Structure 1
Amino acid sequence: MKKLITIFTILMSIIPAFAFDLENSTEFESYVSITAPAVSITDEGYVGAAVDIDVKVSTGEGHAYMDTLPLTDIDMQGSARIASKVAFDTCGKDSDDYDVYYIIRSDVPTVGGPSAGAVLTVATIAAINNWTLNKNVMMTGMIGPDGTIGPVGGILEKIEVGAEKNVDYFLIPYGQRHQIDENNESIDSIEYGKTLGINVVEVSNIYDAVYYFTNYEIETDYEKNPMIDSKYNQIMGELSKITLENAKKSLEDVQNLDLSILNSSEKQEFEEGIQTASNLVYLGNELHSSSNYYAGTSRSFNALVIFETLQSKYLYRNNESVKNYLSEVNESITEKKNYVSDATLTKNNVEYVFSSKSRIYEASELMDEAFYQFDKGNLTSALEYAAYAKLRAETGIWWLELSPEEENPEEIDEKDLKYLAREYLDNSEIVVVYTSTVLSEELVAYPLLQIEDSIDLYNEKEYLLSMSKSIDAYVYSTTILDYTTDVDYLSDLAEKKINKAENCVLNTENNSEYIPVSALSYFEYAENLDDKYSKILYFKYSIAYAQMNMDILKEFDSDAFKYEEKSSDYEISGNSNNSDLFGQDYKIYFINITYLITGLLSGILIGVWYRKNN
């Protein structure tokens, strides 16, 4: 009897304790399998091939691993990294708390290209949320760091892979409906899919793709933060006012110059320049009055550049005087660069230091070109570049002076952005390298140059500037790859990204003064443009900088991304037969069973004791 009582006591102490540990366990592990289409080169040309991908997400330390057979190209590995980042950002989870494993198997000799990026992202999102994937859907598309799905090659061959796998839906990047076949004829991929019994659908972002694969619609609407918008308007209003006042003063200075020393052609050029700049001042004033501050600042700044150029051409008319002007401007830029380098970096002034540095760095680049033109004997071009450089550096100081005053600033070290800058550089390189394989050298010359600059700045430990150059390279590459993008869609995406960034600020300690100035200003500027290409370009800049804001916030304040989980985060549509093998339901069932067993054993022991004593 004593033995039974001892066993009973042990069970009563161990089983509930074990159940409690299980109930409070934070361990997580989830698997998802997906098939991606690929293209293989054979003696008969390009043919489609299937790639089997397993994705495992588990509790970890922020690593992403890849196991491939056969080997994959470096851009495939880079795509996996981007996919992991986008997936965790989309789900509002901290990637530092998890490890992701990508197991890739294919009969293709070498798996390469970024075309599986979107597929990897969908699979990772599904694994994070323990969602089951619909097997009747297949997709191809490059994934961007902002969650957009970019263009890829081999669309028709990949649709044929979907037909072989008997899928019902095949998702392709938006804008790639019409393809050119081997006979240089245009093929409608949607109509082509119908002949194979497949519904081909264009998708532009990861949210649309997730819905087709999971029947879940991820909530992407974030409320605007009126407090931040108000502060942004105050900041940009002040910058617009400073620029406008300087432009008006320069207009007066130029109008007071004696034009009698100019010949007729010079005088005509001068008067036309004054008229153009005067119109810009007027427009800048109108935009300022209507609270379109960044757009107004841009017009006033362009007027300033014209006025400075006119004055420099008026004052410096021979080799020696032009050389002296260039030297003076260059010395002034060097002083400003040193001044900004000495600025204390804090969590709340990152945007202003970043904006200041980027403008002064640009001024240095312009001066390099000014001296180059001078050495070639092009004095007029040298003055134009130098005038632009002078004003660009001046605006860098204006930006720094907009920094919020802080009594006890929380200083941060730019070295802490090293790995984030490396991530930005790697992600941009993937896109630029891919772009260079499908477009001419002339089109990709600028993005390639920005990548080179980003590498140089990274090596110089100028991590903020390196990120800026990486963003330049990425934005230009994706824009020239596909400028048929729906402008309204990009505008909507940019607004959502900005709102999300603003909501992250609300979660920071003491409601940080961090304002996503760059993202907001590029958004405002894009809205005031008429040219479609330029609107697309600057909306993409807005999206990229909003993402950068969130990434920087995460580096210095992880609380910004600890979202409160709500049932409304995901709107469920259609059937959902997802099983949570390692989730809460399983734990609850197991805990109930343990208590049931404990109760049964207790009853048996009590019964035995009762019979023995009666």
Structure 2
Amino acid sequence: MKDLMLKSLVIIMIVLTSYSLPAVYDADSSSCFLGSRDLYLLAVAQDYDGRYTGVATKAYVSMMPGNGVIYLSVEPMAQIDMQASLNVGLLIASYVSKINVSNYDFLVKIVSDTPIIGGPSASGFLTAAIASLLLNQSIRNDTVMTGMIMPDGLIGPVGGIPQKLQAAYSIGAKYMLIPAGQRYSTDLNTGKQVDVVAEGERLGIKVVEVASIYDALRSLGIKISEPEKTQPYIDPDINNKILRWAENLNLTYQSIKNIVEGYRINPQIRSVVNYYIATAQNLSERAFRSFSEGDYYSAASDYYSAVIYLDTARWIIEIYVNMTRYNDLYNMITFEFNNTMNSYRSLVDALRREGSIDLSKMIVLNEIAYRVYEAETTLNMIPRPPIQYLTIDDIYNAVYTLWRINSSMTWMDLYNYVKPSEVAIPIDHIKRSSNLLISYVQTLYTYLSSLGVSISGISNINRLINEARMAYMSQDYIGSSALSIYLTALVSSYLHEMFTTNITQTLNSIKEISLKYLGDLKSRGYDISIPSLYIFRGESISNIDPMSSIFYYELAIADTMWLSLFTSSKPVKYTTQPSTSPILNTTSEISIITSSTTETTKTEQILSTTISLSEIILLVMIPAVIILIVIIIRSWKKH
């Protein structure tokens, strides 16, 4: 009798457990997916003879309920850059669709006959596929694409386009999207420039240049609302404050200039000192012109740089005469830094206790935070006394650190001055976003490193990433997110520096998208003064230093993108819609065949009903089962 009761109890527990276990997703079953996209990615393979050939690689992109994770499966293998580029693409897709991806997981499965799959060159098309899933819109099945998704939403340049055009022809494509500015691309086998638009016409393929993810989505048949451009605007009160910055920096410059002019320069250091003096003079003259034109932030920026160069010249002269002067400089830096960091941390601690921060205040606090932490990074790099040997770079870095600290305090003054927006951002929200931002910028750094980039200053990125992690660990989520936003702009500008083939076109595209993102922020009713400062700065130096101009536009983009993501998210609602299928070439003639598979099955259509029914069954069964178990146990004891 006891055996029979025990068996009954086991059966009951199995039945109960089967109802309470979560569903397990079967990779081979489409019924667990909210949607899927089948497409061809264009790649380049190298044969045994060393010749390059274009290949079309099958890719399957699926979306399911989840936690914002993107999974990658590549057969036979993947390069390191693919996962990183997909992570970037996921965030860009979230931004353009205005849909929070934290409720969904994505599976990207790629099946290839060749082991050389390039992540960046496929990332633009994969980003478009993810966005189409979030927007619940199908993509054209007669169109293929090559291009790298950039962190600012632009489509970056790739190689091997003539070979990829042949691959597009082999699968019957009618349209091929390529990055803007790459109409004339190098043939990897001959080294000659090929007009791929003309070559596409010969093959019956219309080659279309796209500058941004918005261009790509429209060309793929996606209806997407792109933000309208707006012109930069600075609140008059903030503008007057920055005017005072410029005036004070000019006075500081003149004061240091008077000191330097009174020194006798040793002939052994005269050439290097004269370089710093001349550079400072040029920057000062440029600042004067900007000030005269009413561009006070550009004037303040150039006066600030002029002060750093001229002050470096002063300290080179003084340290060369008396080495102990470096001790004085170092002690001054550490004293100022400790005071500034203490003030900053007191402010952050107070906000953490309050539990939220006003949006306008947070925008300014971001500017303070990344300057403070950058100063800490450079402070840790300069030699600590006592020392016997110094380089010119050591002195420059020390002076830069001193004035970076000064800049932090200047922005601290603006923080106390800026008017609140009455939009409160919870600190817990910033905490979650900060963690995402750190992962994002680490992804960008991995992306950059995996591409073999060799650019001066890249080594500092990893140090700043570590600073962001340390800030997060110390519960300074504002500082962590601020550093990550700054690094996003920095890495984006490095990527453009590495890959751009037409600097003028790239600069114009970045400026255009920065104005659109600014318009997006303005349409939400938020103050656009701080991002506008960077756009004005980018415009002021676009003709003389285009790469630095790109960096300032990227700062504006990073600010506006992340502020928009901080303040908006919405769930996606799905309706039944046919799936898109890849282009197939089944005969000697080019033909387009649409698969008969559907993205939403009847099982999926009643999924929400099934879940609700399961919950009802559980509510009914659990009390009944508990009573039954009690009866069985009592009976068992009697026997």
Query: TM-score if structure 1 supplies the norm length?
Result: 0.74
Aligned-partner Cα distance in 1 for 2:466–2:189: 38
Return the letter of the residue paired with 2:304: F
Deviates more, 1:90-99 or 1:534-543: 534-543
Aligned-partner Cα distance in 2 for 1:204–1:407: 34
Aligned-partner Cα distance in 1 for 2:480–2:487: 10
In structure 2, do the counterparts of structure 1 residues 374 and 241 end up closer, same or farther at CA, with 3 Å as the change threshold?
farther
The aligned counterpart of 2:157 is 151
State percent identity of aligned pairs. Answer: 21
Asked if structure 2 preserves the Cα contact closer than 8 Å seen for 1:309 and 1:383, the reply is: yes
Q: 5 Å matches for 1:449-468? A: 449-455=460-466, 457-461=468-472, 463-464=480-481, 465-468=483-486
Aligned-partner Cα distance in 2 for 1:256–1:106: 68
Where 1:54 maps in the other structure, the secondary structure is strand
Q: 5 Å matches for 1:197-346? A: 197-214=204-221, 216=222, 218-222=224-228, 224=230, 229-231=233-235, 233-252=236-255, 254-255=257-258, 259=262, 277=280, 280-281=283-284, 283-313=286-316, 316=319, 317-344=321-348, 345=351, 346=357
- Specify every segment of 5 or more residues in structure 2 that has no aligned partner in the other structure, as ranges: 1-31, 352-356, 473-478, 573-593, 606-639
**Aligned mate of 1:185, from 189, 192, 205:** 192
Aligned-partner Cα distance in 1 for 2:510–2:538: 10
The aligned counterpart of 1:412 is 427
1:43 aligns with 2:48: yes
Shift in Å, 1:188: 3.4
Asked if structure 1 preserves the Cα contact closer than 8 Å seen for 2:42 and 2:168, the reply is: yes
Asked if structure 2 preserves the Cα contact closer than 8 Å seen for 1:494 and 1:540, the reply is: no
Return the letter of the residue paired with 1:489: S
Query: After superposition, what is the alpha-carbon deviation per residue over 1:430-475, rounded to whole angstroms, capped at 9, x for unaligned?
Result: 4303431xx5xxx335335413531453255252324423432232
- Specify every segment of 5 or more residues in structure 1 that has no aligned partner in the other structure, as ranges: 1-26, 564-576, 588-614
Aligned-partner Cα distance in 1 for 2:556–2:470: 22
Aligned-partner Cα distance in 1 for 2:261–2:493: 45
The aligned counterpart of 1:360 is 372
The aligned counterpart of 2:517 is 497
1:161 aligns with 2:128: no
In structure 2, do the counterparts of structure 1 residues 244 and 132 end up closer, same or farther at CA, with 3 Å as the change threshold?
same
The aligned counterpart of 2:124 is 118
The aligned counterpart of 2:28 is none
Aligned-partner Cα distance in 1 for 2:126–2:376: 41
Asked if structure 2 preserves the Cα contact closer than 8 Å seen for 1:347 and 1:412, the reply is: no
**Aligned mate of 1:522, from 498, 519, 534:** 534
Aligned-partner Cα distance in 2 for 1:72–1:268: 52
Q: 5 Å matches for 1:592-603? A: none
Aligned-partner Cα distance in 1 for 2:459–2:393: 25
Where 2:134 maps in the other structure, the secondary structure is helix
Asked if structure 2 preserves the Cα contact closer than 8 Å seen for 1:51 and 1:104, the reply is: yes
Asked if structure 2 preserves the Cα contact closer than 8 Å seen for 1:431 and 1:478, the reply is: no
Shift in Å, 1:60: 5.2
Return the letter of the residue paired with 1:158: K
Where 1:153 maps in the other structure, the secondary structure is coil
**Aligned mate of 1:31, from 28, 36, 42:** 36
Return the letter of the residue paired with 2:401: A
Deviates more, 1:170-179 or 1:28-37: 28-37
Shift in Å, 1:376: 6.4
Where 1:450 maps in the other structure, the secondary structure is helix
In structure 2, do the counterparts of structure 1 residues 553 and 516 end up closer, same or farther at CA, with 3 Å as the change threshold?
farther
Aligned-partner Cα distance in 1 for 2:53–2:274: 63
The aligned counterpart of 2:619 is none
Q: 5 Å matches for 1:541-560? A: 541-543=552-554, 545-555=556-566, 557-558=567-568
Deviates more, 1:28-37 or 1:278-287: 278-287
The aligned counterpart of 1:15 is none
Shift in Å, 1:94: 2.5
Asked if structure 1 preserves the Cα contact closer than 8 Å seen for 2:153 and 2:212, the reply is: yes
Asked if structure 2 preserves the Cα contact closer than 8 Å seen for 1:78 and 1:430, the reply is: yes
Aligned-partner Cα distance in 2 for 1:189–1:457: 44
In structure 2, do the counterparts of structure 1 residues 173 and 369 end up closer, same or farther at CA, with 3 Å as the change threshold?
same
**Aligned mate of 2:438, from 422, 427, 430:** 422
Shift in Å, 1:221: 3.6
Return the letter of the residue paired with 2:159: G
Shift in Å, 1:147: 1.6
Aligned-partner Cα distance in 2 for 1:68–1:275: 55
Aligned-partner Cα distance in 2 for 1:107–1:65: 21
Aligned-partner Cα distance in 2 for 1:551–1:489: 20
Asked if structure 1 preserves the Cα contact closer than 8 Å seen for 2:438 and 2:468, the reply is: no
Shift in Å, 1:527: 0.5
Shift in Å, 1:418: 3.6
Query: After superposition, what is the alpha-carbon deviation per residue over 1:492-532, rounded to whole angstroms, capped at 9, x for unaligned?
Result: 1111112112334x2xxxx6xx6561x32221111111446
**Aligned mate of 2:546, from 504, 510, 535:** 535
In structure 2, do the counterparts of structure 1 residues 301 and 163 end up closer, same or farther at CA, with 3 Å as the change threshold?
same
Query: After superposition, what is the alpha-carbon deviation per residue over 1:6-29, rounded to whole angstroms, capped at 9, x for unaligned?
Result: xxxxxxxxxxxxxxxxxxxxx993
**Aligned mate of 1:77, from 79, 83, 87:** 83
In structure 2, do the counterparts of structure 1 residues 281 and 562 end up closer, same or farther at CA, with 3 Å as the change threshold?
farther
Shift in Å, 1:253: 5.9
In structure 2, do the counterparts of structure 1 residues 52 and 380 end up closer, same or farther at CA, with 3 Å as the change threshold?
closer
1:477 aligns with 2:520: no
Aligned-partner Cα distance in 1 for 2:467–2:261: 46
In structure 2, do the counterparts of structure 1 residues 355 and 554 end up closer, same or farther at CA, with 3 Å as the change threshold?
same
Aligned-partner Cα distance in 2 for 1:309–1:430: 34
Shift in Å, 1:122: 1.9
Return the letter of the residue paired with 1:398: T
Asked if structure 1 preserves the Cα contact closer than 8 Å seen for 2:54 and 2:167, the reply is: yes
Equivalent residues, number: 526
**Aligned mate of 1:137, from 143, 149, 153:** 143
In structure 2, do the counterparts of structure 1 residues 362 and 285 end up closer, same or farther at CA, with 3 Å as the change threshold?
same
In structure 2, do the counterparts of structure 1 residues 301 and 310 end up closer, same or farther at CA, with 3 Å as the change threshold?
same
Where 2:451 maps in the other structure, the secondary structure is helix
Return the letter of the residue paired with 1:377: Y
Asked if structure 1 preserves the Cα contact closer than 8 Å seen for 2:121 and 2:148, the reply is: yes
Aligned-partner Cα distance in 1 for 2:199–2:421: 65
Where 1:82 maps in the other structure, the secondary structure is helix
Query: After superposition, what is the alpha-carbon deviation per residue over 1:86-131, rounded to whole angstroms, capped at 9, x for unaligned?
Result: 2232122222344434333333346442221111122223333343
Asked if structure 1 preserves the Cα contact closer than 8 Å seen for 2:229 and 2:515, the reply is: no
Where 2:36 maps in the other structure, the secondary structure is strand
In structure 2, do the counterparts of structure 1 residues 383 and 558 end up closer, same or farther at CA, with 3 Å as the change threshold?
same
In structure 2, do the counterparts of structure 1 residues 192 and 248 end up closer, same or farther at CA, with 3 Å as the change threshold?
same
Aligned-partner Cα distance in 2 for 1:527–1:112: 34
Return the letter of the residue paired with 1:287: S
The aligned counterpart of 1:389 is 401
Asked if structure 1 preserves the Cα contact closer than 8 Å seen for 2:283 and 2:302, the reply is: yes
Return the letter of the residue paired with 1:393: I
Query: After superposition, what is the alpha-carbon deviation per residue over 1:159-216, rounded to whole angstroms, capped at 9, x for unaligned?
Result: 11111012122222223332143343333333443443333333221222222221x5
Shift in Å, 1:272: 9.0
In structure 2, do the counterparts of structure 1 residues 318 and 421 end up closer, same or farther at CA, with 3 Å as the change threshold?
same
Deviates more, 1:58-67 or 1:418-427: 58-67
Instruction: Tell me which of the two structures has the higher relative contact order, counting C-alpha pairs closer than 8 angstroms and 6 or more residues apart.
Output: 2
Where 2:448 maps in the other structure, the secondary structure is helix
**Aligned mate of 2:97, from 91, 94, 105:** 91
In structure 2, do the counterparts of structure 1 residues 291 and 364 end up closer, same or farther at CA, with 3 Å as the change threshold?
same
Return the letter of the residue paired with 2:510: L
Return the letter of the residue paired with 2:226: T
Where 1:56 maps in the other structure, the secondary structure is strand
Aligned-partner Cα distance in 1 for 2:386–2:68: 52
